[in-house]
Amino acid sequence: MGKIALLWLLCWLGIAGMAQAEPAQHRSVGLHRLVFADPLDGRAMHALAFYPSSGPERTSRIDGYRVDGSEGAPIAIGRYPLLMLSHGNTGTPLALHDLASALARRGFVVVAVTHPGDNAHDHSRLGTLSNLYGRPLQISAAITASLADPLLAPYVSGDQVGMIGYSAGGETALILSGAQPDLERLRRYCLERPLDADACKTNGVLIADRADLSAEADPRIHALLLMAPLSLMFGRHALAQVKVPALIYSGDKDQLLAIDKNAQALARKLPVTPNYRLLAGAGHFVFMAPCDDEQREHMAALCNDPDGVDREGIHLSLQAEAAHFFSRTLGRAGRVGLNTADQ
């Protein structure tokens, strides 16, 4: 055998040996509940972590949602990027459970926070300054809690933190990335569009319940996925300090947020040009997980899309692109004890 042929054979055997030594890992999804102090009042707040698991495939029923994953499942060995998830006003993070599960399967830990005072069961802070400025503080507290959690801490990387924001969660994500809300823009908007029931519940003037609060960025966040983001309070100057990459999705038939004042304007004004995906015919709720029959019966307005809109297909594409985006911007999962740069 010639030297060149021998080298090719050795190279091929080496690649084959590596493939046998490191087989492709099938990941299921584990669930873990976190409880930590709300930075606004010290009361308990909650989050649900979705993580890569080496256990069997299982589903759980949580607050009416059929979720891929099971509590207490073993964590697949690795060091994973950490993604925080912030839901919309009066919403629940479980509405985005399929995205969280899909990202966990692909090697991310997703921590879905329930915002006290602004969720499906508690509206007490809606329309207040404490909600505008408090939601970002709650996400920062959740990051700190996740990095200190006895179960999660050995498997998450504090240098690889990203954020997912849906609707008002997009506003929260932008503040955490350095944006400064302009309350006068909200007032002017509501004078022009007083019938916008979502943004103008308090007629464009937020209740000043906490004068001690202000916008606080968190430098640990390095990338943003924003879906139908509420962003009308941010002009170009207010966004000048947002220097992280962003992937933005919106529907051109959004029935809650005027996209010309929100997602489209945001995509033009961010100092780092984002990837912007405008979905034809899609409404505000298309980003919620596809519904089962029981949900369609009880939540028809949230579950049904216009003819020609394929929510399942949109979610499959979104999940794949989100995983690619966060892998590119944050780095891939690594081995325990190593940063991705060390491999």
Q: What is the CATH number of the domain that holds 77?
A: 3.40.50.1820
Whether 3 is in a domain gets the answer no
Q: How many CB atoms lie within 10 A of CB 126?
A: 17
Which residues, at least 6 apart from 284, have a Cβ–Cβ distance to it below 8 Å? 167, 228, 251, 254, 255, 256, 257
Q: Where are the alpha helices (DSSP H) in the chain?
A: 3-21, 97-105, 129-148, 168-176, 183-192, 263-269, 293-298, 300-303, 311-330
What is residue 23's predicted lDDT score, i.e. its pLDDT? 36
pLDDT digits (tens, 9 = 90+) for 288-298: 999 998 899 88
What span, in angstroms and rounded, lies between the C-alpha atoms of 240 and 180? 9
Whether 28 is in a domain gets the answer yes
Whether 101 is in a domain gets the answer yes
Whether 253 is in a domain gets the answer yes
What is residue 334's predicted lDDT score, i.e. its pLDDT? 80
Whether 13 is in a domain gets the answer no
What is residue 201's predicted lDDT score, i.e. its pLDDT? 82
| φ, ψ for residue 320, nearest 5 deg | -65, -45
pLDDT digits (tens, 9 = 90+) for 307-321: 999 999 999 999 999
What span, in angstroms and rounded, lies between the C-alpha atoms of 138 and 135? 5
Spatial CA neighbour of 111 closest among 148, 66, 74: 148
What is residue 43's predicted lDDT score, i.e. its pLDDT? 98
Residue numbers of the chain with a pLDDT score lower than 50: 1-24, 337-343
- Expressed as residue numbers, the domain containing 58 is 24-335
Distances (CA, A) of 201 to 94, 206, 207, 258: 24, 9, 11, 15
HEC-encoded secondary structure of 75-89:
ECCCEEEEEEEECCC
Whether 300 is in a domain gets the answer yes
Residue 225: both structure tokens together? 């996925």
What is residue 193's predicted lDDT score, i.e. its pLDDT? 87
Whether 236 is in a domain gets the answer yes
Residue 106: strand, helix, or coil:
coil
What is residue 195's predicted lDDT score, i.e. its pLDDT? 82
Count, in order, helices (H) and strands (E) of the chain: 9, 11
Count of domains for the chain: 1
Whether 263 is in a domain gets the answer yes
